[in-house]
Amino acid sequence: MRTVYVTGVGIVSAIGIGVAANWSALNAMTTGISYSKHLNSVLKNMLPAAEVAATTAELAGIYGDTGNLFPNRVNIMAAIALREAIKNNLVAATAGQFGFINASSVGGMGDVEDIYDALVDPDNHDEKIIPLGETMDCGFGTQELARHFNLTNFIGTISTACSSSANALIFGARLIRNGLLEGVVCGGADTLTRFTLNGFNSLKNIDKNHCRPFDANRNGLNLGEGAAYLVLESDEMLQKTGSKPLAIFSGCCNYNEAFHPTAPSPEGEGAYQAMKGALDLAGLSPEDISYINAHGTATLNNDLAEAFAFHRLFGDQLPVFSSTKCYTGHTLAAAGAIEAVFSVLSLKHQELYPVLNFDTPMPELNLVPLTTVERNIPVKHILSNSFGFGGNNASLLFSRYD
């Protein structure tokens, strides 16, 4: 089976635009969670969120000439991250045997919400507004980005809620491992929308304060927005591009537990099976794992279910773990790729990023996550978890490249 290497990463999140800015914020333990300035919602001053600190016009200015790209917020964020990821692979990316797998949960809904009344008004015949309805299709952004970056050889769109971009990476890795592609860029993007904010709030899953992953007093998540992409290459493609791997994508697994539309099984069955499957594919044992970037949303049931899965898989030898959603918020379809980028940074720099706002362990299992930045420590293998509505569970395993 082919080895899959990570050779490029790009990211936009509430803690920064670009890999360097995100890395700096993680090391400084600086959160991007605050009150939204750009989302048009009556709840924006009540529910904290991790919003990218730029208007859509400002993001377009940062990107530069958008050319033939439809310039809505999700596309521009995605383009900034995608360009950073493939900057050293542009020639290779435009060659054959290279694919593009993109993920989103709401597509361009964030922009459409602001003109929705006009969009559904039967007496409105504004030719500039009518086509905007198509941008809510998650595949619309994929096609736009593929055309803009000349990535049209093989494209696909994944929309499996909060595990979307993790599943995009899994799909891309399978295409390489099975010899269908030599390289692929995978990731996803999502923006804050009234739809998701109201939806999660109706489920009583949003904390009115900053989220507290794995804390006994956690009371829900904070939503976020962002985009992240990773370039994956085979050995054969490395010989053509000359790329230097940042990490090895050594294992992955997705598992649908089909327990409940919006809640995990209390025992963490899906989380356990996803992590175990990733270990099995990589040929590793639980004791080989240096660190877990947990899904860790800080909702009551998710963190407990994930903790039970940890206990079942690792017993009393639980590796260091944390959740980085207290920095970026829960970015839904982008979360898996964002946290995959953080995992690659941990492997590259041999350091680990802690949770914020932790005070008291959950009484059920008494697990204590990492609470300070760890530097200059041996980090060899990292599990990164992403679990989503509909019972979707995905676990990615990245290994150090020496």
DSSP string for 278-329: HHHHHT--GGG--EEE------HHHHHHHHHHHHHHHTT-PPEEE-SHHHH-
Pick the closest to residue 74 from 94, 64, 60 (CA basis): 60
Active-site annotation holds for 148 = no
Pick the closest to residue 47 from 173, 203, 174, 153 (CA basis): 203
Of the listed 38, 148, 295, 381, which one is catalytic? Answer: 295
Active-site annotation holds for 210 = no
**Helical residues (DSSP H) of 113-252, grouped into ranges:** 116-119, 138-148, 164-177, 194-202, 235-241
Neighbours of 50 (CB within 10 A): 28
Using CA atoms, how far apart are residues 223 and 297, in angstroms rounded to an integer?
9
Residue type (1 letter), 114 = D
Neighbours of 121 (CB within 10 A): 11
Of the listed 38, 138, 148, 162, which one is catalytic? Answer: 162
- Are the beta carbons of 22 and 11 closer than 8 angstroms? yes
Active-site annotation holds for 260 = no
Using CA atoms, how far apart are residues 201 and 18, in angstroms rounded to an integer?
30
CA distances from 1 to 87, 178, 235 (A): 28, 7, 11
Using CA atoms, how far apart are residues 395 and 273, in angstroms rounded to an integer?
9
Using CA atoms, how far apart are residues 284 and 377, in angstroms rounded to an integer?
20
* Active-site residue set: 162, 295, 330
